[in-house]
Chain A
Amino acid sequence: MGVSSNGDVDLTLMDEVFGKYAQQEGALIPILQAAQATYGYLPGEVIKLIADRLGVSLGKVYGVATFYAQFYLERRGRHVLKLCDGTACHVKGTPILMTAVEEEFDIQPGETSENGELSVEIVYCLGSCALAPVAVLDGEVMGRMRQEMLVRRVKKHIGTD
């Protein structure tokens, strides 16, 4: 990732992104997506750079970046747990899963644990409703989750168990 441990952001990594999208109309969203793929989130310096390079206001870039759920303006945890709260998952027990996660790791959805290890997010429908309730841990989709199983797998994955 293009962010060092002390938080310095390597802006030269954006050159390739701008090169790729230079000629495309309406490329702000793909550029933000590429920037987030590079840095893991959207650092303020990068947002300023994007506004400058595209010749649009900082407000416009922030406006777009804050509108869409996909974009993060803050660094996230080293591991990300997404709990699906789509309808099927909801009726099959996501709220109970949330309670278990809150109690075990002491974080609410949308937060990152104090040690920076784990972020928990609520997402709406991953389209795998037949496997409800579904959780996604660092990209791995886990279906038919139960409280105990989820906590165990998260602990094992982040290495606290």
Chain B
Amino acid sequence: MVFMAELDARRQQAKERWEQKINADVYITVGMGTCGLAAGAGDTLAAVQEELERRNLSAVIGQVGCVGMCSYEPMLEMQAKGQPRVNYGNATGSNVPEIFAAYFDETPVRKSVVVGEMTPTITQVNGSALHSLSFVDPEDRGKIAFHQKQLRVVLSNCGLIDPESIDDYLAADGYEALAEVLAEMTPEELIEEVTQSGLRGRGGGGFPAGVKWGLARKTQRWPKYVICNADEGDPGAFMDRSVLEGDPHSAIEGMIIAGYAIGAQAGYIYCRAEYPLAIRRLEIALEQARELGLLGDNILGSDFSFDMVVKEGAGAFVCGEETALMASIQGERGQPWPRPPYPAVSGLWQQPSNVNNVKSYAYVPRIIRMGAEWFKNLGTEGSPGTAVFALTGMVNRTGLIEVPMGITMREIIYDVGGGIPMGRKFKAVQTGGPLGGCLPEEHLDTPVDFDSLRAAGAVMGSGGMIVADETTCMVEFAKYFMQFACDESCGKCPPCRIGSTRMLEILERITGGEGKLEDLDEIRRVARGMQTGSLCALGQLAPSPVMSTLRHFEDEYRAHIEEERCPAGKCRTLITYEIVAELCTGCMVCGRNCPSNAISGEKRQPHVIDAELCERCGLCTEVCKFDAIVVY
């Protein structure tokens, strides 16, 4: 058994080691999240070692999670003792020598980018501290644009600490909240504190976490279970992955605290199989926590015992629905069951269970340490705290962002995201993925919080935010989400199973140029059936993307139906490719690349596309260096 005093001693050591690490002669970190690795962070690390050898330098090299600036991956940070810590983007293996030269010899960077100077930030409240980071522009000393409006709370450790080191987490005051809870709070006081903070479930539902915990506590049946929903299946969303990959201990600590609150002894983290790195880091973190006595019998010398395992999903979006998730943990088909009874009364194996999202749990240690009052004052009255979004699609700075609730969509897209690339026009922003809705230009000043978004016809969702520009066909966009819902419908209840299929057929008809105006009413009718008759949120919310695009972009639907025209130039049966003779140089590249041999013409003479043969694959527009091919 490990007692409080031993944890304190270990934390002291960890803090000393942390100081040593960040004050090494040379300290280098490489972002090793999935995005970083996919962009080549493994090569970067190898190149760093080579370059250190070549320059005969010794350095401490560390790995960190995602700092959120995915478009700059791979990323590398370098600091010589007493010097600024500079973050470089596009730090591929081959660019590492130039980065070393830039840092040590002050030569300019050419292929890589100076993102900014990484500056640790500390927020102090009630004698507790929240360690985080920010990036400062080396020239004007202000925060870089991407960071100006961000506020990192749940992501505070991501990019700062080594996710595979419990000592790093301890050095950042990790597990202090757990120690405080076990030493000083009754479960009732703890639940009261979480309720007071106003924390709402970050899986998208927005149900008050404290109230949920209270219900599970009240049910007098044991065993009880704490379940973490890490089945982040929304296409276009990777918030939970980043938390688990960059700071797994914070979610684990939150779950242990929840276990104490509701009186559970066992926990499950249900993580989707598509996240192998997150699963590996969770397993490492759990093992470390066990070794330190933070999991297991009599945690920190108290009479509270708790342990948890990771359950790997098997590829089913519906398992993000809490009852389907529990069915899956039980080894069954992931099909939802009707509620009530709610999981707090009868959940996993019919026992009382508390299901929360990864971020909801990860907020908890911070709320306990910094106080409910502090958390409540971030964000808005109805939605305290911050919101984490995976900002993707047609926006200049894609990435993972954390902003205070109440910020507007416009600020997120233009200030944080840097606007739409290539001077194109913004069309819509979609939140909540396949179960969410989109907002057009005129709603861009909607504050981002649970209630305002719902009122505007979109939802908070679990944090996916996808920007569409004028080249996105909104009918095709809606069809895509319906295809997803149709594929992922578990098939248990007819409104969802049949409704999504019928809806998809109608949308296919419209994008295929065979739509009728009556189809629009039919869509509305089927949607109502799905919304009112489906068993779970998947079926109830699956019509949302279609309904919101129909509400805001009915003209696009009508153009497809009445004019047999796709205004965005996306729907293949409704578009034509043509070569502009004045711009064509007759270089013949398009002709060589055309898979259906539809392009002909003499060398150095304008080419033509045979509309009969053209399959509208778009390859020619991609290979043409003179922008001579137009779509209409």
- A: residues with CB less than 8 A from B are 25-30, 32-33, 63-64, 67-71, 85-92, 96, 99-100, 103-104, 123-132, 134, 141-143, 146-148
- Chain A residues with CB under 8 Å of B313's CB are 68, 70
Name the interface size band of chain B.
Answer: 35 or more
**Is B236 in contact with A100, judged by CB distance below 8 angstroms?**
no
> In the bound complex, how far is the Cα of B464 from the Cα of A89, in angstroms?
13
CB distance from A92 to the nearest CB of B (A): 7
Can you list, as one digit per residue, whether each of B307-329 has a CB less than 8 Å from chain A (1) or not (0)?
00001111111000000000011
Query: A33 to B235, Cβ gap below 8 A?
Result: no
Q: Is the pair A86, B235 in contact by a Cβ cutoff of 8 Å?
A: yes
Residue of A nearest to B317 (CB): A124
Nearest residue, chain A, Cβ from B66: A130
Which of B274, B329, B334, B433 has its CB near the most chain A CB atoms (within 10 A)?
Answer: B274
Task: State whether A26 touches B329 (Cβ < 8 A).
Answer: yes
- New A-B contacts (5) at CB < 8 Å, excluding given A87-B236, A126-B34: A64-B331, A68-B313, A68-B314, A127-B241, A131-B70
Question: How far apart are the CA atoms of A71 and B35 in the complex, in Å?
Answer: 25
User: CB < 8 Å: which of A29, A91, A141, A147 contacts B619?
Assistant: A147
- Residues 490 to 528 of chain B near chain A (Cβ within 8 Å): 490
The answer for the CA separation of A127 and B330 in the assembled complex, in Å, is 26
> What are the residues of chain A within 8 A of B434 when measuring CB–CB?
87
A sample of 24 cross-chain residue pairs with beta-carbon separation below 8 angstroms, ordered by A number, consists of A67-B333, A68-B313, A68-B315, A69-B316, A70-B273, A70-B314, A86-B235, A87-B236, A87-B480, A88-B236, A90-B235, A100-B595, A123-B274, A124-B488, A125-B274, A128-B38, A128-B238, A129-B238, A129-B390, A131-B73, A134-B38, A141-B38, A146-B622, A147-B619
**Contact call B392/A132, Cβ cutoff below 8 A:** yes
CB distance from B253 to the nearest CB of A (A): 23
Q: Name the residue of chain B whose CB is nearest to the CB of A36.
A: B314
With a cutoff of 8 Å between Cβ atoms, the chain B residues found around residue A28 in the complex are 331-332
A88→B466 CA distance, assembly (Å): 7
Q: Nearest CB to that of A89 among chain B residues?
A: B235
**Residues of the B chain whose Cβ atoms lie less than 8 Å from the Cβ of A27:** 331
Instruction: Give min CB distance, A42 to chain B, whole Å.
Output: 12
Any chain A CB within 8 A of the CB of B477? yes
Q: How far is the CA of A105 from the CA of B629 in the complex (A)?
A: 26
Q: Cβ of B315: which chain A residues have Cβ within 8 Å of it?
A: 68-71
Does the CB pair A142–B38 fall under 8 Å? yes
Q: How far is the CA of A63 from the CA of B316 in the complex (A)?
A: 14
Assembly CA distance A25 to B225 (angstroms): 14
- Whether B617 contacts A100 by the Cβ 8 Å rule is yes
Minimum CB–CB distance for B475 against chain A, Å: 13
The smallest C-beta distance from A148 to any residue of chain B, in angstroms, reads 7
B468 within 8 Å of A by Cβ? yes
The 8 A CB mask of B10-51 against A (1 = contact, 0 = none) is 000000000000000000000000110111000000000000
By beta carbon, the residue of chain B nearest A98 is: B617
Binds A, one of B119-127, B130-138, B393-401: B393-401
Point out the residues of chain B lying under 8 angstroms from A33, CB to CB: 273, 312, 314
Give complex CA distance A129, B433 in Å: 13
Q: Contacting B334 at CB < 8 Å: which of A32, A67, A128, A129?
A: A67
Q: B384 at interface (Cβ–Cβ under 8 A)?
A: no
For B588, list chain A residues within 8 Å (CB). none
Chain A nearest CB, measured from B467 CB (Å): 9
Complex CA distance for A70 and B484, rounded to whole angstroms: 16
Determine how close the nearest CB of chain A comes to the CB of B545; give it in whole angstroms: 10
- The chain A residue with its CB closest to the CB of B617 is A99
> A70 to nearest B CB, angstroms?
4
Instruction: Indicate if the CB atoms of A125 and B38 lie closer than 8 Å.
Output: no
Report the minimum CB–CB distance from B573 to chain A (whole Å): 13
> A130 to B71, Cβ gap below 8 A?
yes
Given known A67-B333, A91-B472, A96-B618, contact A127–B623 (CB-CB < 8 A): no
What is the CA–CA distance of A129 and B389 in the complex, to the nearest angstrom?
12
- Known contacts A32-B314, A69-B316: A87-B490 contact under CB 8 Å: no
| Interface membership of B112, Cβ < 8 A | no
Asked, given contacts A64-B331, A91-B466, A92-B393, whether A130 binds B398 with beta carbons under 8 Å apart, the answer is yes
Q: Which of A71, A123, A125 contacts B234 (CB 8 A)?
A: A125
Q: Once the chains bind, are B484 and A124 in contact (CB under 8 Å)?
A: yes
**A-B interface, 5 closest residue pairs, ranked by CB to CB distance from nearest:** A130-B70, A86-B235, A69-B315, A68-B314, A87-B236
Question: How far apart are the CA atoms of A132 and B70 in the complex, in Å?
Answer: 11
A145, chain B: closest CB distance, angstroms: 11
Q: What is the chain B residue whose CB lies nearest that of A90? A: B480
CA distance A123 to B488 in the complex (A): 12
**B contact residues around A88 at 8 Å (CB):** 235-236, 392-393, 398, 466
Residue B275 at the chain A interface, CB threshold 8 Å: yes
- Distance A120 CA – B37 CA, assembled complex (angstroms): 23
CA distance A33 to B484 in the complex (A): 24
B233 within 8 Å of A by Cβ?
A: yes
- The verdict on A68 contacting B238 (CB below 8 Å), with A127-B34, A141-B37 known, is no
B15 to chain A, nearest CB (A): 33
Contact, CB under 8 Å: B399 / A130:
yes
Q: Which of B73, B237, B593 contacts A127 (CB 8 A)?
A: B237
Report the separation of the CA atoms of residues A96 and B476 in the bound assembly, to the nearest whole angstrom: 14
CA distance A25 to B316 in the complex (A): 21
Residues of A within 8 A of B37 (CB): 141
